[in-house]
């Protein structure tokens, strides 16, 4: 067999199953049989993806090694692995200073061919050297698809300097916001307050560890004060790209607090900020993007040790020939948290 099926992305409403040659493996490369791949929020960010279409997406993936190049010694056929497509170089000015996701290699090089929504995937370069991990026996293929998104929240809460007992506001209770809630609870956060426009997602936030929920179109700052001893939140994490959320967040962070933009509005959208209260009240604004190999390792250990459970977050599973429906489910968000594509089912 020289060909495989892939899910070719044209737009959120048009993801087609097509044929493509199985990638040939060089001396320093590995071929895996993709067993599971999650649909990420960035996969359905149409303005971002459509300019490169058609292409095969998918980066939250796990699989079984089926072929290795002659120079490969770190991996063996039959091992189950997690792998990530973007990996920092580890040597540049930004990597050395700890800004791993600002690395030009991280932002520009993709070492996966073609993408996780395919039956087979070739791994090369830095993604093989520092971005591929053998899965522990007690992490399933499906659980392993959460390593990358969990790793980004690990980096996010570290960036936010979350401390035990901190009150935490999660703006946007999509899958990342919900993972953030689970991780923050495991790390000993104090009051966790979650917002969203969806009742379904707000209920999920309660189920996963939020102490309080509030609809995003309500007076969120007043609600925070009412449940947080009269204070605004110590830490605010923006986990949605909605413009209104980006603006609302500036009104929700308390004195001495940290506001972190984990997600941002579309390019060109600007928010107006009165910096006087931030200056007077010692408030910090930060951003966080992506995850480094060390974050992936930490996430894998959190899953291995059952510190963060993820099985209950998968609401939809589709074989590759159902990928179109999978993207529609993920895009609509109705009664949907995590969508997994199982290319070899």
Residues 329-345 have pLDDT tens digits of 999 888 999 999 999 99
What's the burial of 319, exposed, middle or buried (CB within 10 Å: 0-12/13-18/19+)?
middle
Mean pLDDT within 251-273: 95
Every domain of the chain with CATH number 3.40.50.720 lies at: 161-287
Which residues are CB-neighbours of 210 under 8 A, at least 6 positions away?
170, 173, 181, 192, 193, 194
| Lowest-confidence region among 247-251, 316-320, 322-326, 330-334 | 330-334
Q: Where, residue-wise, is CATH 3.90.180.10 in the chain?
A: 3-150+291-342
- Asked if residue 172 has pLDDT above 70, the reply is yes
253-261/233-238 β-pairing: parallel
Percent of the chain with pLDDT over 70: 100
Task: Look up residue 262 and give its DSSP letter.
Answer: S
* CA-based nearest residue to 232, from 208, 256, 211: 256
State the fold for domain 161-287.
Rossmann fold (3.40.50)
Give the mean model confidence (pLDDT) for residues 113-133: 96
Query: What is the pLDDT, as a whole number, of residue 222?
Result: 98
pLDDT score recorded for residue 46: 84
Residues 201-211, mean pLDDT to the nearest whole number = 98
Q: What is the pLDDT of residue 47?
A: 81
Question: How much is the pLDDT for 186?
Answer: 96
Helix 199-207 to helix 175-186 angle (10° resolution) is: 20
pLDDT band at 187 (very low <50, low <70, confident <90, very high): very high
Q: What is the pLDDT of residue 45?
A: 83
CATH of domain 3-150+291-342: 3.90.180.10
Task: Render pLDDT for 7-20 as a digit per residue (tens, 0 to 9).
Answer: 999 999 999 999 99
Question: Cα(288)–Cα(290) distance, rounded to whole angstroms?
Answer: 7
Residue 1 has pLDDT above 70, yes or no: no
Higher pLDDT, 44 or 310: 310
């Amino acid at each position: 067999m020289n060909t495989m099926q892939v899910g070719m992305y044209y737009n959120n409403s048009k993801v087609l199953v097509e044929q493509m040659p199985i990638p040939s493996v060089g001396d320093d490369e590995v071929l895996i049989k993709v067993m599971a791949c999650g649909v990420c929020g960035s996969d359905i960010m149409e303005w971002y993806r459509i300019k490169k279409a058609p292409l095969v997406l998918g980066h939250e993936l796990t699989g079984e090694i089926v072929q290795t190049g002659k120079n490969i010694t770190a991996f063996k056929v039959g091992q189950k692995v997690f792998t990530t497509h973007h990996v920092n170089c580890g040597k540049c000015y930004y990597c050395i200073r700890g800004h791993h996701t600002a690395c030009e290699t991280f932002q520009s090089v993709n070492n996966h061919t073609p993408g996780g929504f395919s039956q087979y995937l070739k791994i090369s370069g830095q993604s093989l050297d520092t971005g591929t991990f053998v899965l522990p026996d007690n992490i399933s293929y499906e659980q392993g698809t959460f390593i990358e998104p969990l790793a980004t929240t690990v980096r996010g809460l570290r960036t936010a300097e979350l401390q035990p007992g901190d009150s935490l506001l999660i703006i946007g209770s999509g899958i990342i916001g919900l993972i953030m809630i689970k991780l923050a609870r495991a790390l000993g956060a104090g009051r966790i307050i979650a917002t969203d426009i969806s009742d379904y997602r707000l209920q999920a936030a309660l189920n996963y560890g939020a102490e309080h929920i509030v609809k995003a179109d309500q007076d969120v700052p007043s609600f925070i004060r009412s449940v947080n001893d009269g204070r605004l939140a110590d830490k605010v994490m923006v986990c949605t790209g909605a413009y209104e959320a980006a603006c609302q967040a500036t009104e929700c962070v308390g004195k001495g607090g940290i506001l972190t933009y984990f997600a941002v509005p579309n390019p060109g959208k600007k928010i107006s900020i009165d910096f006087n209260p931030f200056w007077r009240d010692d408030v910090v604004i930060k951003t966080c993007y992506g995850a480094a190999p060390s974050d992936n390792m930490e996430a894998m250990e959190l899953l291995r040790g059952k510190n963060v459970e993820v099985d209950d977050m998968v609401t939809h599973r589709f074989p590759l020939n159902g990928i179109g429906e999978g993207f529609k489910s993920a895009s609509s968000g109705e009664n949907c948290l995590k969508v997994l594509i199982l290319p070899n089912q």
